[in-house]
Structure 1
Amino acid sequence: MDKPLKTPPSYPIASVDHALRAATILQLEGGATVSQMAERLGVARSTAHRLLAMLVYRDFAMQDEDHLYRAGPVLELAAHSQSLVSRLRAAALPHLHRVVDVLDETTNLIVRTGDTARFIASVECRQALRVGSREGMVFPAHRTTAGLLLLAELTDEELEEVYSPDRYRDRPADRPDLPKLRTELKRLRRNRFAVNKERSERGLVAVGVPVCDQDGTALAGLSVSMPGTRYDPHRLQSLVATLTTTAHALQKDLADLH
């Protein structure tokens, strides 16, 4: 088993977490009002206003003439990327909430950029012991459920380019074993689902399926995350079935947007 990458800090600082999440929302989605940010972060409107004011002061955000806060120069992100991520997230959120209603486990939507996987949406379940929101977090693609499913779309040549030794010259230990990875991706390509047991975070198990476009190419990954103590392998088939049904419904919504 791979060593997990991230463990939540023992003493998290809520204000810092809120500021980082606010910056991520602005970067990924293109803009938000104070009220929208307060709702997303689950904080008072006054708290959201102070957070955004500090982000503006440090150039992580800017406020336009309509009082909408947008990503500032520090967070430079191409407009087309904002648009794609924003459309994906907006279309997916109702489906993520429905999965949480059915499974009562935290549900996520993930996209891949190069060798990394970014969580662009996350809806927490209601259970006391649960996996918290991963929205905005970035992990190595080969260490996440959805990242693996998206890597499985690549040809051997494309995979070789993503994991070119030149890109890992300063961090060779981070480069995965490509023959082993190819074997795993071949199996995922056939199964159309993936299970991640503590590869990204200690004590966490995730199950995921791809979300495809009209041509059948995977655009994103849909996953549920749960504490390992609650994962039952006998439930795998039903988990995959629920996620697959949801992915197909999301794919239809995305197609209707074009």
Structure 2
Amino acid sequence: MPTDAETRPDTSGSQTLSRGLTALSLLADHGRQTIQQLADRLGVHRSVAYRLVRTLEEHRLVVRDPAGLLSLGPQLVILARDVEHDLQSASLPHLQQLADELGATAFLAVRDGDDAVTLVTAVPRGVNASVAQHPGHRHPIALGAPGIALQSMLDAATWRALGHDEPMHPEVEVMRRRGWAVSANEVIQGITSVGAPIVSRGSTDASVAVVTVGQPDTDAMGAAVQRTARAIEADLR
């Protein structure tokens, strides 16, 4: 018969694992930060965050620069190299072409439950500055053009199963008719995004999007994003 110690859940270990995964997500979302900043975002004492960081550093999941700023480590690239490999390989050249054509950051997002997660990004060449969109960044699919594009691939029952009592974003129906979605000032103030779904991807819902500042020609961007989505679909067949 198992003892109480053997059957009792290891809550401390589970909590540590959960904090470690959350720390990686925070570094993906917020970029380089100090241990104190990470501790504040985790809601833990600095000493707890320090021990957590040391463990992540040992496994090269996190690295620290000479100034003490933390960032995601190279081991994550190794772990992620086979995640949606075909999708990444098919999309990257098309994303780079899209980014260069529009002079805006282009990226591919996949649905992870109720979130849109950036899988791969292309930055425009020959442009002095562009909006940063790091792989691993996530935001709710309820907001933003890539999220709206992902919503458009769901039926009402799936949307409710994700915990939504409210209807889908009003732009979803527009996107279904037009083929691409537009969002401004939803995820980040001052940022406009345009996105289109990649259909026929089996178990993974994906979308192509671009992000930029100012008041872009969203019709031209939408047409380009939609063409890119169709090109990626063709390469995946």
Q: TM-score range by the shorter chain?
A: 0.5 to 0.7
Residue 161 of structure 2 aligns to which amino acid in structure 1?
E
2:206 to 201, 220, 228: 220
Distance 2:178 2:151 in 1: 14
Residue 221 of structure 1 aligns to which amino acid in structure 2?
S
Return structure 1 stretches of 4+ with deviation > 6 angstroms.
Answer: none
Listed one character per residue, the Cα deviations across residues 67-125 of structure 1 (whole Å, up to 9, x for unaligned) are xx7559xxxx8xxx974522211111111111122111110100011110000011122
| More helix per residue | 1
Please state if 1:246 is matched with 2:228: yes
Larger Rg, first or second structure (1 or 2): 2
SS for the counterpart of 1:224 is strand
Match of 1:41 in 2: none
Which range moves more in the overlay, 120-129 or 81-90? 81-90
Residue pairs, 1:12-161, within 5 angstroms: 13=32, 55=56, 57-58=58-59, 60=61, 83=82, 85-125=84-124, 126-161=126-161
Distance 1:82 1:98 in 2: 22
> Where do 5+ consecutive residues of structure 2 fail to align?
1-28, 36-53, 63-73
Match of 1:38 in 2: none
Residue 141 of structure 2 aligns to which amino acid in structure 1?
A
Q: TM-score, normalised by structure 2?
A: 0.64
2:218 to 233, 236, 254: 236
Match of 1:211 in 2: 198
SS for the counterpart of 1:139 is strand
Distance 1:106 1:185 in 2: 23
> Where do 5+ consecutive residues of structure 1 fail to align?
1-7, 17-52, 62-68, 165-176
When the two chains are superposed, the root-mean-square deviation of aligned CA atoms in Å is 3.3
The answer to whether the Cα contact below 8 Å between 2:60 and 2:75 also exists between their aligned partners in 1 is no
How far off is 1:225 after superposition? 0.6
How far off is 1:183 after superposition? 4.2
The answer to whether the Cα contact below 8 Å between 2:180 and 2:194 also exists between their aligned partners in 1 is yes
How far off is 1:13 after superposition? 3.6
Give identity over the alignment, percent: 24
SS for the counterpart of 2:142 is helix
Distance 1:103 1:71, change over 3 A: closer
Distance 2:141 2:209 in 1: 14
Which range moves more in the overlay, 202-211 or 125-134? 125-134
Q: TM-score, normalised by structure 1?
A: 0.59
